[in-house]
Structure 1
Amino acid sequence: MLTFTIRRLILSVPTLLFISLVIFLLLELAPGDPMAQVPLTVPPEVKEKMREALGLGQPMHIRFWKWLVQFFWIEPQVMIDHFFGTTYAVGDLRVISWQTRSPVMDTVVQRIPQTLWVVGTAYIVGILIALPIGIYSAYRQYSVFDQCGTFVTMIGFSIPPFFTGPLLIVIFSVQLGWFPFIYDTTHVVNDWDSFVYQLRQMILPVMVLALQTTAQISRYMRASMLDNLNQDYVRTARAKGLSESVVVMAHVLRNSMIPVVTVIALGMPAIFGGAIITEQIFSVNGIGSQLITALFANDLPTVQTLTFIFAMLIVFFNLIADILYGLLDPRIRYD
């Protein structure tokens, strides 16, 4: 397993380099001009100086190389300086946003806690709800519980966040007045009352995201459980006199979790993509809303950085899923 992990880590380097090249070329070749939002009253020579200041006058391969150096070399040094109080980083070589004229990673670090609070909590809640529903639905196939679970998951699959978000706002915020519909990102938790308010303002966006997570994972869990419940080893375990709980939870569940682990691991970076819409609806000042703002402003450094961060998360959680395969099933060996 250690050899496989090291091999996959080495293989991820050219993978990420190729992904970064694709992202850079797609954004560079896309239509649009960063100077399009500059007022018409600005003289052409001033616009040309602004373009040179942004580095747009350099060849494409030079800009790509500089971006790689900034992202993989300068920004890690800045993070080390931030946590250990050192002075290794060179400040003027950082990835600078064209919109805010500030380092992109500084904004990401400021916004990521809001995204983790909402998106991370929603994903954990969705998994904790989906796994028991999928297990019990498979064990009680075609029961009333199974039928209700199928109906709810179909709703979760069918209704997009841009519909469920405003619907929950109308019901629980406007009509009932139970929860705030605007997420206050400046709220500070320092006592019990502020903690309760933080939970109240998180409920609606968490419900929207958790519904999608529960719908997806519970269906995978149910299908995997049904596939394993009919296997020969289950009948053998029952013939040996093992209790039903031991058969289901110790034998069937462990084998059934192998395909579900893939869905859970790959869903962790993907849930950030879904949070883009939810953050816009509830005004959560996270990295999802930052990506939307950067797209509208044609802020290529911010879009490149955030998109590449999402790609890194996908590659990383792919590795985590492969490692968990070997832990869940001793028959799987990579060495």
Structure 2
Amino acid sequence: MLTYSIRRLLIAIPTLLFISLVIFLILEMAPGDPLADQPLTVPPEVREKMRAALGLDQPAWVRYLLWLKQFFWTEPLHLVDSLLGTGFADPAGRIVSWQFRAPAMDIIWQRLPQTLQVVGLAYLVGVIIAVPIGIISAYRQYSWFDNIGTFVSMVGFSVPTFFTGVVLIIVFAVNLHWFPSIYDTTLKVTDWESFLKQARQMVMPVTVLALFNASQISRFMRASMLDNLQQDYVRTARAKGMGEKVVVLRHVLRNSLIPVVTVIALGIPTIFGGAIITEQVFKVNGLGQLLITAIYANDLPMVQTLTFIFAALTVLFNLIADVLYGVLDPRIRYD
């Protein structure tokens, strides 16, 4: 397995380089000018100096190589320097956001906790809810529990999150006044009272995202369980006198988790990408909202950095899912 993992990591290097090139070229061909919002009274020579300061006077291939150098060399050195205080990082060579006039990774690190608190917790809650629902729905197929679970899953997956979010705001924030409608990103948890405020403002966005994630994962879990419950090895295990609990939880569930692990693992990068629509509805100042504002402001360095981070996380968790296949199914070999 170690050899397989190393080989996959080596293959991931040209994959990520190709992805970075595609991202850079797409954003390079996108219309818009980062200096379009400047007043018309700005002299042409001053405008040219501003373009040179942003690096726009360089050819596209030079800017691409500089971006790769900043992302893979300068930013990691700065991270090591921040953690260890070694003093060999070069802050001047970092990727700078045109919109915030600050290093892009610093802005991302500032927004990341908000995204992980809301989107990460919602994804975790969704997985914890979805797996038992899928198992019970498959084992008790066509029962009242299965019918209710199917109905709730279809509604949760079909109704868009912006609609669900607005409905929760109208019912629980406007009419009942149970929860705040706007997420306060400046709130710091220092005592029990602030913790309760933080928990109250997280209830609605976490509920919206958890319902959406649980609806999708529970359907995969149910379908995979139904497929394995009809296999010959299940009938053989029951004929040998194994208990129903052992058959379902040890044999059927383990094999059924293989496709579900893929769905869960490939969904984890979306946590770091943020929930763009839900963050807009509840005013969560996370990475999803950061990406939207960067697109509106034509902030190419920030958009390139965020998009490439999402792509790299997708490649990484795809590898993790492939490795977990061998843990769940002993028949899978990586030789």
TM-score by length of 1: 0.98
Q: Deviations over 1:297-335 (max 9, x none)?
A: 000000000000000110010000000000000000111
Name the residue aligned to 2:290: 290
8 Å CA contact 1:217, 1:263 repeated in 2? yes
**Which blocks of at least 5 consecutive residues in structure 1 are unaligned?**
none
Q: State the one-letter code of the partner of 2:123.
A: Y
C-alpha separation in 2, matches of 1:81 and 1:279: 32
Give 1:272 deviation, angstroms: 4.5
Give 1:270 deviation, angstroms: 2.7
Q: Does 1:333 align with 2:333?
A: yes
C-alpha separation in 2, matches of 1:261 and 1:243: 26
Name the residue aligned to 1:51: 51
C-alpha separation in 1, matches of 2:145 and 2:42: 66
8 Å CA contact 2:114, 2:185 repeated in 1? yes
Query: Following TM superposition, where does structure 1 have runs of at least 4 consecutive aligned residues deviating by more than 6 angstroms?
Result: none
Q: State the one-letter code of the partner of 2:56.
A: L
Aligned residues: 335
Give 1:77 deviation, angstroms: 0.7
Residue correspondence of structure 1 range 169-180 to structure 2 within 5 A: 169-180=169-180
8 Å CA contact 1:130, 1:214 repeated in 2? yes
Name the residue aligned to 1:261: 261
C-alpha separation in 2, matches of 1:37 and 1:28: 19
Moved more, 39-48 or 71-80: 39-48
Q: Does 1:281 align with 2:281?
A: yes
Residue correspondence of structure 1 range 45-84 to structure 2 within 5 A: 45-84=45-84
C-alpha separation in 1, matches of 2:233 and 2:68: 52
Give 1:126 deviation, angstroms: 0.1
Name the residue aligned to 2:35: 35
Q: Deviations over 1:190-234 (max 9, x none)?
A: 111111111111111101111111011000000000000011111
Name the residue aligned to 2:98: 98
Q: State the one-letter code of the partner of 1:111.
A: R
Moved more, 117-126 or 191-200: 191-200
Name the residue aligned to 2:216: 216
Q: State the one-letter code of the partner of 2:240.
A: K
C-alpha separation in 1, matches of 2:44 and 2:162: 42
Give 1:44 deviation, angstroms: 1.7
Q: Deviations over 1:253-291 (max 9, x none)?
A: 000000000000001113445601111111111111110
Percent of pairs identical after alignment? 69
C-alpha separation in 1, matches of 2:273 and 2:229: 34
Q: Does 1:198 align with 2:198?
A: yes
SS of the aligned residue for 1:258 comes to helix
Name the residue aligned to 2:125: 125
Distance 1:275 1:112, change over 3 A: same
C-alpha separation in 1, matches of 2:216 and 2:243: 30
8 Å CA contact 1:209, 1:274 repeated in 2? no
C-alpha separation in 2, matches of 1:167 and 1:83: 44
